[in-house]
């Protein structure tokens, strides 16, 4: 199988392009008419680092690569637009395997309204995926960065925490905890929730890829403020008893955001309605710096480097 034949077969299977695309892959570059402002992010997944082929089907790996990249756009409150994919193909992955990977990406692309607009295929020692995603907004100030949190803002999180880290432990222990394992292997980007939060005047936002403690620290640092988190309020995934799993476990890909307290009720209703997940207030923004996570008795919980892929 040559590169050109594989690319031609890939192009045949791609879902229809979105309205911004004037020319899709097959030329030297894809042509788009963005309008307004773009948010662009790139994520790489490498076999043995971010996933394991013995744990994940190829369709799942393709879907996860695109979902993880789109999660960064969710955290900007962006409308997803285009994705550009590099596929590094090892010698033990045949053309049908590449098509399975692509089917997973195409499924997520269709679900999210993303156009697979271009890419490159190369040989590589292990399966490697690099995905660049472009999201859109009418103007640059409509994107929500990490830097706008203000003292007095409420700190909120979407969905439930700890499931992905618990799923990783289940996989490593060879257990069958399917709901956690699905959180680990089949993450979803909270795109609708991210746009609902942006519309509700969120002042800062990040997606939880490294774990609540660490990612909260990114908001605190970028915004020049402190965050107080009440550990008793954390929305733990079903069956999770260990707070550390929710605080230090990564890859939940939920959204952590700050917003004016008067927007809390409207944001909660909008997130629930548009994305089907709960929004939970877990703390507040204070003057100062750093992240404090307070346990029921008042003691502080230290976020630790928790076992995770990536």
The residues binding a copy of itself (CB under 8 A) are: 22-23, 26-34, 36-46, 48-50, 72-73, 75-76, 78, 82, 84-86, 88, 117-120, 122-126, 128, 130, 132, 134-135, 140, 143, 145-147, 205-207, 222, 310
Which is closer to a copy of itself, CB of 191 or CB of 240?
Answer: 191
Which is closer to a copy of itself, CB of 50 or CB of 183?
Answer: 50
Cβ neighbours, 10 Å, residue 37: 15
**Distances in whole angstroms, Cα of residue 149 to Cα of each of 155, 223, 285:** 9, 6, 7
Cβ pair 137, 34 in contact under 8 A: no
Which is closer to a copy of itself, CB of 84 or CB of 180?
Answer: 84
- The CB-of-5 to a copy of itself minimum distance in angstroms stands at 13
- The CB-of-272 to a copy of itself minimum distance in angstroms stands at 23
Residue bearing tokens 């993880």: 68
What order of strands is seen across the sheet that includes strand 300-301? 204-207, 255-259, 154-158, 279-286, 226-230, 290-294, 300-301
- The CB-of-102 to a copy of itself minimum distance in angstroms stands at 15
Cβ-based neighbours of 172, under 8 Å, separated by 6 or more: none
- The CB-of-205 to a copy of itself minimum distance in angstroms stands at 8
Cβ pair 161, 277 in contact under 8 A: no
Q: Residue 209: what are its φ and ψ, rounded to 5°?
A: -100, -35
Which is closer to a copy of itself, CB of 128 or CB of 203?
Answer: 128
- The CB-of-291 to a copy of itself minimum distance in angstroms stands at 15
Which is closer to a copy of itself, CB of 166 or CB of 259?
Answer: 259
Residues in the chain: 310
């Amino acid at each position: 199988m040559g590169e050109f034949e594989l690319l031609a077969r890939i192009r045949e299977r791609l879902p229809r392009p979105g309205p911004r695309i004037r020319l899709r892959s097959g030329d030297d570059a894809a042509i788009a008419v963005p309008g307004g402002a773009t948010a662009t992010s790139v994520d790489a997944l490498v076999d043995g680092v971010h996933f394991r082929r013995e744990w994940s089907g190829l369709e799942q790996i393709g879907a996860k690569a695109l979902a993880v990249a789109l999660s960064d756009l969710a955290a900007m409150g962006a409308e997803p637009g285009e994705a550009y994919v590099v596929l590094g193909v090892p010698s033990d992955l045949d053309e049908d395997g590449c098509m399975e990977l692509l089917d997973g990406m195409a499924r997520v692309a269709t679900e999210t309204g993303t156009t697979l607009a271009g890419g490159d295929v190369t040989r590589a020692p292990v399966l490697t995926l690099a995905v660049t995603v472009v999201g859109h907004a009418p103007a640059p100030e409509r994107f929500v960065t990490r830097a706008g949190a203000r003292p007095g803002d409420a700190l909120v999180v979407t969905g439930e925490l700890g499931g992905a880290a618990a799923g990783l432990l289940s996989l490593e222990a060879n257990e069958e905890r399917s709901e956690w394992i699905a959180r680990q292997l089949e993450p979803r980007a909270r795109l609708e929730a991210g746009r609902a939060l942006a519309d509700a005047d969120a002042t800062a936002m990040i997606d939880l890829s490294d774990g609540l403690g660490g990612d909260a620290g990114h908001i605190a640092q970028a915004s020049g403020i402190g965050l107080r988190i009440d550990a008793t309020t954390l929305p733990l995934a079903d069956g999770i008893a260990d707070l550390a799993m929710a605080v230090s476990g990564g890859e939940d890909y939920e959204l952590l955001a700050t917003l004016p307290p008067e927007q809390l009720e409207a944001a909660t209703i909008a997130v629930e309605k548009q994305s089907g997940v709960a929004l939970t207030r877990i703390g507040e923004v204070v003057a100062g710096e750093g992240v404090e996570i307070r346990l029921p008795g008042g003691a502080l919980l230290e976020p630790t480097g928790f076992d995770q892929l990536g």
